[in-house]
Amino acid sequence: MTKKRNFFAFVVAWAFMSFSCGLQDVPYISRILEPAHTGLSGTSDIRLPSSAELGYGTMDPFTHFVIFYRIYLSNVFHAADTVDTSPERSSINPLLNTDFNAAFSWTDPTNVAVNTAGVHNFFVNLRGFFLLELEGVAIGNVLGRDSLGRTMRIDFSDIPGQAPRLQLDNRFYNLRRAGGIDDGFDFEPLPRIGNTLPFFNHMELLDSGNRTNRTINADVAPTVPSGPMPIEHSYVMMYIAAAGLSLTAPPVRVFSQPTFLGIFRLPSPH
């Protein structure tokens, strides 16, 4: 009996240790706090978490921050600086409000049941968002480990011809639209100005043929508001999340709970 009891105790102890180690191997990345203010022209300062704030115990799966975006066309020039209510979002574009509502359970900081493993699938595959890029530099290099603990800002200035920018401390990087890599196919966004893909309220962006053709402006929502007014304005909605890789074999992508960055109005190209 003694040998059986000892064997049983060994099995229980082994199972407990294995389970405990498994808990330690579960990667966890804390969410980014919302900016204090977000308006149609950009955000206030966003403090990116430090390495200590992102890791779980001795685990640190973080690799870089990612920003999901989707563009919406509109026949409404929203005069106020902020878009805060469901009627306001719907007046700009009904699909913008639908996407916002669909994402709310993912971004709600009080929702502790969010399965962050599905963040990429939700935004890219289910809601039609794409991953933001930067002109002339990989965004993963700018918003990688060196960005931890630093201050970021999104700038959609109303100044005609000034491309929207990401500011990290005192450096500026022009925003670049995606090329379709993360949606399983390639597309050619328009307008292309030189070799850049800026976030401008350009006629080629507003063109209905370019919008409905999934090989051209796939990052533009297909739905537009009804009514007698022409489609002359464009907005973009953005979310940010921390991304990383698990220590499993093979490694899998992991994400923090996403954070709503804001709804911004695209400026005129000239």
User: Which tens digits make up the pLDDT trace of 61-98?
Assistant: 889 999 999 999 999 999 999 999 999 999 999 999 99
For 44-51, what is the mean pLDDT?
92
pLDDT (0 to 100) of residue 188: 86
pLDDT of residue 189: 92
Rounded average pLDDT over 236-265: 92
Average pLDDT, the chain: 86
Q: How far is CA 240 from CA 21, 93, 94, 133, in A?
A: 30, 21, 22, 13
Q: Is 121 exposed, middle or buried (0-12, 13-18, 19+ CB in 10 A)?
A: exposed
Q: What pLDDT score does 55 carry?
A: 61
H runs (alpha helix) in 64-118: 86-92, 94-107
Task: Name the more confident of 266 and 245.
Answer: 266
pLDDT at position 185 = 64
CB environment 215-248: b (16+ within 10 A), e (fewer)? ebbbbbbeebbeeeeebebbbbbbbbbbbbebee
Distance CA(131)–CA(66), nearest Å, equals 7
Quickly count: other Cβ atoms within 10 Å of residue 159's Cβ.
Answer: 11
